[in-house]
Amino acid sequence: MTRIVIALAAVAAAIAPLLLTDQTFFVQTALTALVVTGLSLFMGYAGQASLGQGAFVAVGGLTVAVGTVTLGIPPLVALVAAPVLGALVAALVGWPLLRLRGHYLAFGSLAVLLIIQTVMATAPLFGAGVGIFGIPPLSVAGLVVTDQRVYSYVALAA
């Protein structure tokens, strides 16, 4: 029964971008589901509380923004590098942080999130509270992606 529900959800998710006129909400929902899945694994299966999951998402987002705008890295390369760098930061932070348990772990992860937010809000490289503008669209082999549906399917693939 569970497999049938999963198959129906996958088919519905694959068809949804074809029916929607604006893909923005769909892409944001798919990416949020990706973050929540990671959080569910940590909190549900490992039984640990984390309040700083957004820190690692921010690291991935900053990787794409700074990589493409400031460093001139191709968008596809930056998109592939984002989860790798996010995972590296998570491993570096997690190594000492996962020695904590319960509320201490939750507050320690929250501290990491607040530190990253503070750096993002003050460092000019990371937008200094205003944001990073001019992020180029995704391009593959010189072909620029202009159709929003492609972004929907990239989010679903992730």
Q: Where are the domains of the chain?
A: 2-157
- Whether 98 shows a pLDDT value over 90: the answer reads no
Beta bridge partners of 140: 143
CB 54 within 8 A of CB 73: no
Model-level pTM?
0.81
CB 141 within 8 A of CB 88: no
Which of these, 95, 68, 74, 83, lies nearest to 34 by C-alpha position? 83
- Whether 4 shows a pLDDT value over 90: the answer reads yes
pLDDT tens track for 100-137: 888 898 899 999 999 999 999 999 888 888 888 888 88
Which contacts (CB < 8 Å, 24+ apart) does range 112-115 have?
A: 112/52, 112/55, 113/51, 113/52, 113/53, 113/54, 113/55, 115/55
- Whether 53 shows a pLDDT value over 90: the answer reads no
Mean of pLDDT values over 90-108: 89
> What count of other Cβ atoms lies within 10 Å of the Cβ of residue 28?
11
Backbone phi, psi, residue 139, to 5°: -140, 140
For position 21, what pLDDT does the model report? Answer: 87
pLDDT tens track for 56-84: 999 999 999 999 999 999 999 999 999 99
pLDDT classification of 144: cutoffs 50, 70, 90 = confident
